[in-house]
Amino acid sequence: MERNLAVMAGPPPPPDPDDPLAPARGLGLDGLLTLLERLDGEAESAVARDALAAGVSPMVVIEELQREVERRLIRSRRFYDETEW
């Protein structure tokens, strides 16, 4: 008997309101670029667009965008501010 593992058992759980990375979850290239620009990352977004235009693999660019967006989201939530712990 062959099982199809590509089918989800149910809908994904709702996003955790306390998850500082929730805004970036599930975004594609365009969504990450837009979110990065909203997080004061216009220059980084331009670099990513130039990299794509120069032929860098979209998967490499997406990975770098994801890391930068997550870093900015964490900083914006004062995650590293120990006085908030």
Q: What is the 3-state secondary structure (H, E, C) of the chain?
A: CCCCCCCCCCCCCCCCCCCCCHHHCCCCHHHHHHHHHHCCCHHHHHHHHHHHHCCCCHHHHHHHHHHHHHHHHHHHCCCCCHHHC
Please count the residues of the chain: 85
pTM recorded for the entire structure: 0.72
Question: In the predicted model, is pLDDT for residue 81 greater than 60?
Answer: no
Predicted confidence (pLDDT) per residue in 44-59, tens digit: 999 999 999 999 999 9
- Give the domain ranges of the chain: 29-78
Average pLDDT over residues 1-11: 62
Measured CA to CA, the distance from residue 76 to residue 59 in angstroms comes to 25
